[in-house]
Structure 1
Amino acid sequence: MLFEDGSQIFVTKEMMQRFSLQGKEALSEEEYEELFRYRLRFSAYTWLSKRDYSSWELEVKLSRYCSQKQWISDLLKDLQQKGYLDDYRYAIQWVQSKKYGRVKMEYFLLQKGYSREFVRKVLDEAYQTDTKEIIKIWNTLAKKEKEKRVMALLRKGYHYSEIKKALAEIEE
């Protein structure tokens, strides 16, 4: 559906029936807003059904199709209230699915639009068992010299103090 201002909305058959669009030449402002908000919600549900998004990522994605910041903000609040959009859950799952250290994960999460305080809270929870992960990686690198293994762990984003703690545990 193409509008006078040049904007357009992809309309499904279900939307055609729901909004009685068959044969309509014009829409009132209220009908236009309702149709556009419905389409935004439909798009958000479609994207969220395929994978989780952070609020910031979904906002960026929606803003490509809609210039009305308030509509996007209202939709994001509604999705959060319904439990479809949960930044904390998303961040924890994302961190746990990656095999990087705390420093690298902090960088990635900040790039996703999270605040430093939020990132620290997530990382404190996610990296409670850091030592076990370091020991696991250390053992997979067993054929390499100690110095090279330490450097490999540092490149993965682990702090030197965490590596030393894990090494002390191994030597016990």
Structure 2
Amino acid sequence: MKILNLKRNKLYLEDDRVIDVSPDIIYEMGLSRKEELSIEEYERVVYLAALSKSYFLLSRRDYTSKELERKLRIKFQEKEIIKKVISEIEEKGYIDDYSYAKSFIERSKDGRKKIEYDLRARGIKAEIVKEAFNDSGQNEVYKIKKLLSKISSKPHDKKINYLLRKGFGYDSVKEALRDEDEE
């Protein structure tokens, strides 16, 4: 694969591909002296660039493996290399979908249904979500009671609708409202 240009941190290749490369990659692969890359060298450059991009993204916030894969696919077309990068990052413990799900559950003020939906949208498997819920020990009724203190002035039916929209189960809402009425 022919190298057309190397400007700053961009490697321009003959088939209109542009790869962001760090100075470390340029030095390690000797890109400033090369005019052409073999297929193995090209794959190595893409692998190092994807790994570098992954570390950069993970330094800013946590990602699920599926979210990181989506981000990398925007920049890189090589699916096998992306899978290899993600599996290496998972092995090192930088990505853990279970820990992500558990911390997401603990931080969220929403109900179980909405949390499950949000985690599934982030690419976390249903069994991991279920396991994280079981291990988190979250009590929906307790969460609802905390929210009820903020909306205590609203009519009864509006409270129910609000809590249902937040993803809480009807039985939990009913129980929390019953407890509130008793107090």
Structure-1-length-normalised TM-score: 0.90
Q: Does residue 69 of the first structure (1) align with residue 79 of the second (2)? A: yes
Of 160, 163, 166, which residue of structure 1 is paired with 2:170?
160
Quick one: which amino acid aligns to residue 158 of structure 1? F
- d(CA) in 2 for partners of 1:167 and 1:79? 46
Instruction: Determine which of 110, 130, 142 is the counterpart of 1:120.
Output: 130
Asked if 2 retains the 8 angstrom alpha-carbon contact of 1:9 and 1:39, the reply is yes
**Alignment size in residue pairs:** 172
For residue 106 of structure 1, what is the aligned residue in structure 2?
116
> What's the counterpart of residue 133 of structure 1?
143
Whole-Å Cα distance in 1 between the matches of residues 21 and 116 of structure 2?
40
- Alpha-carbon distance between aligned partners in 2 of 1:70 and 1:12, rounded to the nearest angstrom: 21
The within-5 A match list for 1:88-107 is 88-107=98-117
Q: Which residue of 2 aligns with 1:33?
A: 43
* CA gap 1:12/1:117 in 2 versus in 1, 3 angstroms: closer
Q: Return 5+ residue gaps in structure 1 as ranges.
A: none
* % identical aligned pairs: 35
Give the one of 14, 31, 36 matched to 1:21: 31
Displacement of 1:104 in angstroms is 1.3
Instruction: Please report how far the alpha carbon of residue 127 of structure 1 lies from its aligned counterpart in structure 2 after TM superposition.
Output: 5.7
Q: Is the Cα contact below 8 Å between 2:98 and 2:129 reproduced in 1?
A: no
Matched, 1:54 2:60: no
User: Contact 1:109 / 1:119 at 8 angstroms: preserved in 2?
Assistant: yes
Normalised to the residue count of structure 2, the TM-score between the two structures is 0.85
Relative to structure 1, the CA distance from residue 127 to residue 153 in structure 2 (aligned partners, 3 Å threshold; closer, same or farther) is farther
Provide structure 2 residue ranges, at least 5 long, that are not aligned to the other structure.
1-10
| 8 Å Cα contact 2:111/2:167 also seen in 1 | yes
Q: What residue in structure 2 maps to residue 11 of structure 1?
A: 21
In 1, the alpha carbon distance for the partners of 2:133 and 2:127 equals 10
User: Which digits, 9 at most, give the CA deviation of each residue in 1:108-167, with x for residues without a partner?
Assistant: 222222233332223334462222111111121111222221221111111111112223
Greater length-normalized contact order (CA 8 Å, ≥ 6 residues apart): 1
Counterpart contact for 2:106–2:138, Cα < 8 Å:
no
Contact between 1:92 and 1:126, CA under 8 Å: does it hold in 2?
A: yes
Cα RMSD between the aligned structures? 1.8
